[in-house]
Amino acid sequence: MTRAAGPAGAVLACCLALAACGGTDAPASPGTGWSGGEPTSSPSNSAPPGDLAIARNETREDSVYPAYGDPLVDALHYDLDLAWSPEEERLTATETLTFRATGDAAAIPLDFNEQLAIASASVDGTPAAHRVEGHDLTVEHPLEEGRQYELVLEYAGTPAPAPSPSQRADFAQGVGWSITPEHETWTLQEPYGAFTWYAVNDHPSDKALYDFTLSVPAPWSGVANGVLTSSTIEGGRSVNAWHLAEPASSYLVTVAFGDFQHTDLESASGVPIQIWTDADGEPTPGDTAYAPEAIDWLERILGPYPFDSFGIVVVDNDSGMETQTMVTLGDSAYSLSAAVVVHEAAHHWYGDTVTPADWSDVWMNEGMAMYLQGMWEAEQEGIAVARKMDEWASFEADLRAQSGPPGAFDPAQFGDGNIYYGPALMWQELRERVGDAAFFALLREWPAAQANDTADRREYLDWIEQTTGEELTSFFDGWLLDRTTPDRD
Ligand SMILES: [Zn+2]
């Protein structure tokens, strides 16, 4: 996410939507073809993919937000058939969740929104009793360890965001499903909030595959993660089918309904890129046309882009979020800057393909995305990255004092600058310690080795020590857990 509002006009880029600033008038490449017409292909088949093994995970209870997610469920595939009625602001949905039980239990525990009314629930074709208390959905059906189940829910209502555990201004509207004054919709749901619009095991350790069928009155359309596999008009409604072929954590899932146009672009290496934005505005607003160059720049440092496609959907908010394969950006000048495009694209290596297994390790996402953003900004400004880090160090101690150490932050201040800047400084220190060759090998090899997986800090830091042959326990403890900033070389 990007983070807005750094000290003294500094740029904070965070996961959810911390903003990065830094006078980046990056050259915008001219957009290529604009496809405004409606593709004509048959509606997608929403049957789950045959091989769900890629979506098997070691689920866990979160150490920071234990009330969300349940390790009993290992979600494998979500099929979300969603119809949006703008005038009524009503969502009507059929959800099919295929999951594996990791233990024996009397019922299925999921996260869900009590504002939505469930019309029916069944498990493997058998109707099941259910109840929602707070954000806990319980479906009465016994579970046996290791078995796979198919839960089908039909529900409807007007979703609203849930309170966010953050002090950031761009989170003030809450997390989850948001509705604009024009009845358009968008989502930002880090560290949780997917539950506001579908029944989900809402925890980053549980990645799953997704198919979406999105229906809305034409000419509006629905945008989601993955690849648009069909787009039709049926009875005055546009119906878009999206398929996400790589498993995603729930915080990286997005759906937006609105009056969109889209533009097709491509990176030099051939990654297909789509920019979805307001039909009445510029086809590639702000610096969104920089996306191909951002991917090219990142591939030179990090290796091949880890997914089949990349995209940006521009929505009416103040934030930016690295939703998997389809970045969600607010329509402010900062959110649409090239620095934010680079930052959110960097998360596809650090956050999206390898994802923290616990929210105490969100620094794994933001520290590296911020460091890469810092490298890019330094390059744009013609200065050494070490000097950029000196600039950031001038305010890092205050962020750490305000919101806690990056690896042990205050749970009520999720997404503050402390998880961004301190870990970025840490990576520069490690770079100076092990040298460029070893450092950049680490940057390339970790996401490639952990593709479509999750990891916690012990796994990551052990791997770094083994790969570099360095004893780094006190180094990492100081940067991640101390309340004061370690000495910099
Ligand atoms: Zn970020």
Per-residue CA distances from 29 to 25, 266, 286, 310, 414 (Å): 12, 11, 11, 16, 35
The confidence band for 3, taking pLDDT boundaries of 50, 70 and 90, is low
For residue 172, what pLDDT is reported? 87
CB 344 within 8 A of CB 351: no
Q: In terms of pTM, does the model score above 0.85?
A: yes
Q: Is the pLDDT of residue 408 over 90?
A: yes
Mean pLDDT in residue range 182-209: 98
- Average pLDDT over the chain, rounded to an integer: 92
Lowest mean pLDDT among 42-46, 123-127, 182-186, 192-196: 42-46
The whole-number pLDDT of residue 7 equals 43
Q: Is 90 exceeded by the pLDDT of residue 12?
A: no
Encode pLDDT of 217-272 as tens digits.
999 999 999 999 999 999 999 999 999 999 999 999 999 999 999 999 999 999 99
Give the integer Cα–Cα distance in Å for 18 and 21.
10
Q: Measuring CA to CA, how many Å separate 230 from each of 36, 38, 319?
A: 14, 9, 29
Given a contact cutoff of 8 angstroms between Cβ atoms, the answer to whether 252 and 191 are in contact is no
Nearby residues for ligand 1 (ion, Cβ within 5 Å): 1, 14-15, 366, 369
Residue 115: the pLDDT is 95
Q: At what angle do helices 338-346 and 363-381 cross, to 10 degrees?
A: 140
Condensed to tens digits (0 to 9), the pLDDT of residues 270-327 reads 999 999 999 999 999 999 999 999 999 999 999 999 999 999 999 999 889 999 999 9
Measure the CA angle with vertex 37, ends 33 and 43; round to 5°: 120
Indicate if the pLDDT at residue 33 is higher than 60: no
| 3 state DSSP class of 84 | strand
Question: In the prediction, which pLDDT does 80 show?
Answer: 98
* Nearest partner of 208 among 38, 458, 454, judged by Cα: 454
In the predicted structure, residue 20 carries a pLDDT above the cut 80: no
Q: How many residues does the chain have?
A: 489
Looking at 2.60.40.1730, 2.40.50.140, 3.90.550.10, 3.30.930.10, the CATH number of the domain 53-161+193-249 comes to 2.60.40.1730
How far is 156 from 131, CA to CA, in rounded Å?
A: 15
Alpha-carbon dihedral sign for residues 32, 36, 41, 45: positive
Q: How far is the centre of ligand 1, averaged over its atoms, from the C-alpha of 407 (Å)?
A: 15
More confidently predicted of 24 and 366 = 366
Q: How far is the CA of 3 from the centre of ligand 1 (A)?
A: 7
377: CA distance to ligand 1 center in Å?
15
Residue 370 alpha carbon to ligand 1 centre in Å: 7
Instruction: State the amino acid at position 158 in one-letter form.
Output: T
Which one, of 296, 291, 299, 298, lies nearest residue 326 by Cα?
291
pLDDT of residue 49: 65
With 50 as the cut, is the pLDDT of residue 367 above it? yes
> In angstroms, what is the span from residue 223 Cα to ligand 1's centroid?
21
pLDDT at res. 2: 77
CA of 85 to the centre of ligand 1 (A): 32
pLDDT at 23 over 50: no
**Secondary structure letter of residue 211 according to DSSP:** E
Domain ranges of the chain: 53-161+193-249
